[in-house]
């Protein structure tokens, strides 16, 4: 099933050039859930995302690492707020990301795209450990790499490992898919202030100075320091993963 990059685009499969050669797609756990059906992992939602990831990667030949969150299952702050040990509660959150990673893997592979799950917390019976050079090898071989368990350390969310892994694997951009209906970075929360305007592009310093909380500050600061642009876009709009890979002007580019 694995198709090396040099062979992608030959034969009957035609590869359209993408703006981006290698990307990190950050998916929140809640993007896999469904408010309507009250499901923690909604099969139809996961399938829709998986098909779009598989089709877009095949069309453009883009190498993709997906960093998946776990907020649909557990967040460390929930337990900590109720008196749990924070590190234990965060570890539960990291395990939630592994559950989501397996759900995504299953759906993306059913859509015909080879994948590998690499976890920052070792679980040999379930998936591979995260090893940078192994991740690079999988990407070069055309596999979508799904990065689970965040950094493997408590006190982080998955935004920061998305930024860290992007730097490690030399990704050109982080694509931060939103699921809240907000399709980019706005001057204020558009759900509260209808006059808020969406920026097509904005600088890291403005995001930080204006405290525009589209991504964890640690991640934004890391991306600024390492010059990794972040594309914020509405993940739930069908066709947007493809549009993001194509380099269409959607969402907001932070650079």
**Which pair of structure tokens corresponds to residue 203?**
């600088």
Residue 68 pairs in a beta bridge with 27
Given 46, 64, 127, 150, the residue binding ligand UDP (CB under 6 A): 150
Q: How far is the CB of 163 from ligand UDP (least distance, A)?
A: 11
Q: How far is the CB of 30 from ligand UDP (least distance, A)?
A: 5
Element containing residue 155 per DSSP (H, E): none
Q: How far is the CB of 175 from ligand UDP (least distance, A)?
A: 13
- The count of residues in the chain is 255
28 binds ligand UDP (CB under 6 A): yes
29 binds ligand UDP (CB under 6 A): yes
Q: How far is the CB of 197 from ligand UDP (least distance, A)?
A: 26
For helices 43-60 and 86-110, the axis angle rounded to 10 degrees is 60
156 binds ligand UDP (CB under 6 A): yes
HEC assignment per residue over 164-193? HHHHHCCCCEEEEEECCCCCCCECCCCCCC
Q: Give whichever of 91 and 240 is closer to ligand UDP, judged by the CB atom.
A: 91
**Which pair of structure tokens corresponds to residue 109?**
């592979």
Nearest partner of 138 among 162, 114, 158, judged by Cα? 114
**Strand 22-27's sheet: what is its strand order?**
128-129, 115-119, 144-148, 63-68, 22-27, 173-178, 230-234, 252-254, 201-202
Element containing residue 135 per DSSP (H, E): helix 132-140
Given 33, 58, 135, 151, the residue binding ligand UDP (CB under 6 A): 151
161 binds ligand UDP (CB under 6 A): yes
**Which pair of structure tokens corresponds to residue 112?**
């015909």
Q: Give whichever of 151 and 231 is closer to ligand UDP, judged by the CB atom.
A: 151
Per-position x/- string for 52-71, each x denoting binding to ligand UDP as judged by CB under 6 A, each - no binding: -----------------xxx
Per-position x/- string for 104-123, each x denoting binding to ligand UDP as judged by CB under 6 A, each - no binding: --------------------
93 binds ligand UDP (CB under 6 A): yes
Stretch that binds ligand UDP, among 10-18, 47-55, 153-161, 238-246 (CB under 6 A): 153-161
75 binds ligand UDP (CB under 6 A): yes
Contact 99, 106 (CB under 8 A): no
Return residues touching ligand UDP (CB under 6 A).
Answer: 28-30, 69-71, 75-76, 90, 93-94, 96-97, 150-151, 153-154, 156-158, 161
């Amino acid at each position: 099933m694995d198709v090396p990059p040099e062979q992608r685009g030959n034969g009957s499969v035609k590869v359209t050039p993408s703006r981006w050669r290698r990307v990190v797609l950050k998916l929140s756990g809640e993007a896999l859930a469904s408010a309507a059906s009250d499901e923690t992992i909604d099969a139809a939602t996961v399938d829709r995302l998986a098909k779009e990831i598989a089709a877009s990667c095949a069309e453009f030949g883009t190498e993709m690492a997906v960093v998946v969150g776990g907020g649909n299952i557990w967040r460390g702050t929930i337990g900590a707020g109720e008196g749990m040990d924070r590190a234990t509660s965060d570890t539960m959150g990291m395990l939630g990301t592994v559950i989501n990673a397996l759900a995504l893997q299953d759906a993306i592979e059913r859509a015909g795209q080879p994948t590998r799950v690499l976890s920052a917390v070792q679980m040999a019976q379930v998936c591979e450990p995260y090893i940078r050079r192994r991740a690079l090898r999988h990407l070069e071989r055309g596999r979508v790499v799904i990065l689970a368990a965040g950094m493997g350390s408590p006190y982080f969310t998955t935004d920061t490992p998305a930024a860290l892994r992007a730097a490690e694997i030399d990704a050109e951009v982080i694509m931060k898919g939103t699921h809240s209906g907000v399709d980019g970075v706005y001057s204020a929360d558009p759900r509260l202030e209808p006059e808020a305007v969406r920026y097509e592009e904005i600088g890291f310093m403005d995001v930080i100075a204006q405290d525009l909380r589209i991504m964890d500050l640690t991640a934004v600061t890391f991306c600024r320091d390492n010059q990794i642009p972040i594309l914020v876009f509405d993940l739930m709009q069908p066709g947007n993963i493809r549009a993001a890979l194509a380099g269409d002007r959607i969402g907001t580019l932070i650079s």
